[in-house]
């Protein structure tokens, strides 16, 4: 009997040693891969989803100190969230913008939410008020209302936090993507120029991409978009401004605060914006509403120092300075409480 027990203990020790060595090999391999990715210029990036969006969305309720951003990619790339968290230490700075999706559905949802009474910073342009785009962010809001849960949102946040710490978790560096890229290019994937951050902002390092091709892509796609979905005539379009104004009044009647900002576009993109939605016929109609707080980038001193490599977004090196100038202007105009 003692011999049998002794043999069993030895086998158990062998298995433990084997698993220990496997763990050491795996950890060493991941560490080496992390160093390799760092040397190649990669940055840790998360993958946003409805559960993570819901995690941040839940934070704005019953929170008069919330400073909430809604909009699309310009709000995500241009606003420097860490800077604002440092500057407004007694506020919860929350990014709810969604890449490629105008924010009317989220504005409506916050207007309908009697528990929201924070400050809402809206990245808006004239096209965003076309009814065709009203439902662009409905999937996020519908999910939050009907499918989200504390458990799923917390799990999404923890998962995103872990991914934000390690490059090898990058959502675009899966084995399939790596193999397909190598098969096509006979080289390892180059570092990506955009990074999705844990706070749902996005950082763009345009030194890592072909800015000429990117610029042409953005301008051509914008022109195509304007041609396929031409603007509503200004008089009819004003009905949508009235609807927006109703949403804002609902928020501010509860003690909330809403500021509408026309974020900058540049070069060919801005020329197209002016061609199809002239400021004098569209944006100025919004700013003329006495009950609305509005700010156009062309009215802010110091904005002329910025350039956009793709005509629509700022490089990460400019986001903190841009955010500082923007919020200095908001404070000077007493738009923020």
Model pLDDT, residue 7: 62
Residue with tokens 């109703």: 246
**Dihedrals phi, psi of 164, to nearest 5 degrees:** -75, -10
Q: Does domain 50-332 have CATH number 3.40.50.1110?
A: yes
CA end-to-end span of the chain, whole Å? 80
HSE of 312, CA atoms in CB hemisphere, 13 A: 22
Interval 34-77: pLDDT, tens? 999 999 999 999 999 999 999 999 999 999 999 999 999 999 99
pLDDT at 216 over 60: yes
Buried b (16+ CB within 10 A) or exposed e, 6-44: eeeeeeeeeeeeeeeeeeeeeeeeeeeebeebeeeebbb
CA geometry: angle at 175 spanning 173 and 176, to 5°? 100
pTM here?
0.92
pLDDT at 197 over 60: yes
Query: What value does the mean pLDDT take over residues 205-223?
Result: 96
pLDDT at 5 over 80: no
pLDDT interval class at 149 (50, 70, 90):
very high
Sign of the dihedral through C-alpha 194, 165, 168, 158: negative
Show me where the domains of the chain are located. 1-39, 50-332
pLDDT at 16 over 60: yes
């Amino acid at each position: 009997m003692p011999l049998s027990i002794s043999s069993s203990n030895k086998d158990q020790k062998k298995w433990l040693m084997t698993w220990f060595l496997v763990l050491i090999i795996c950890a060493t391999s991941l560490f080496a891969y992390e160093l390799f990715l760092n040397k190649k210029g990669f940055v840790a990036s998360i993958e946003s989803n409805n559960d993570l969006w819901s995690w941040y969305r839940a934070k704005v309720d019953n929170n008069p100190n919330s400073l909430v951003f809604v909009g699309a990619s310009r709000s995500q790339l241009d606003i420097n969230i860490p800077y604002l968290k440092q500057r407004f230490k007694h506020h919860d700075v929350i990014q709810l913008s969604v890449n490629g999706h105008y924010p009317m559905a989220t504005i409506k949802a916050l207007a309908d939410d009697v528990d929201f009474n924070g400050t809402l910073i809206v990245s808006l342009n004239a096209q965003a008020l076309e009814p065709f785009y009203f439902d662009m962010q409905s999937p996020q809001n519908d999910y939050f209302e009907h499918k989200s849960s504390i458990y799923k949102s917390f799990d999404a946040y923890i998962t995103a936090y872990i991914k934000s710490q390690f490059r090898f978790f990058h959502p675009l560096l899966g084995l399939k993507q790596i193999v397909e890229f190598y098969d096509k290019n006979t080289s390892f994937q180059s570092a990506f120029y955009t990074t999705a951050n844990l706070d749902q902002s996005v950082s763009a390092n345009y030194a890592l991409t072909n800015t000429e091709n990117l610029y042409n892509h953005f301008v051509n796609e914008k022109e195509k978009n304007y041609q396929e979905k031409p603007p509503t005539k200004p008089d009819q379009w004003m009905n949508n401004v009235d609807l927006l104004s109703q949403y804002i009044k609902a928020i501010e009647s509860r003690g909330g605060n809403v500021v509408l900002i026309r974020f900058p576009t540049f070069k060919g993109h801005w020329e197209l914006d002016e061609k199809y939605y002239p400021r004098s016929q569209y944006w100025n109609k919004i700013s003329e509403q006495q009950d609305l707080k509005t700010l156009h980038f062309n009215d802010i001193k110091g904005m002329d120092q910025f350039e956009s490599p793709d005509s629509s977004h700022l490089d990460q090196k400019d986001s903190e300075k841009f955010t500082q100038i923007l919020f200095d202007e908001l404070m000077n105009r007493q738009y923020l409480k």
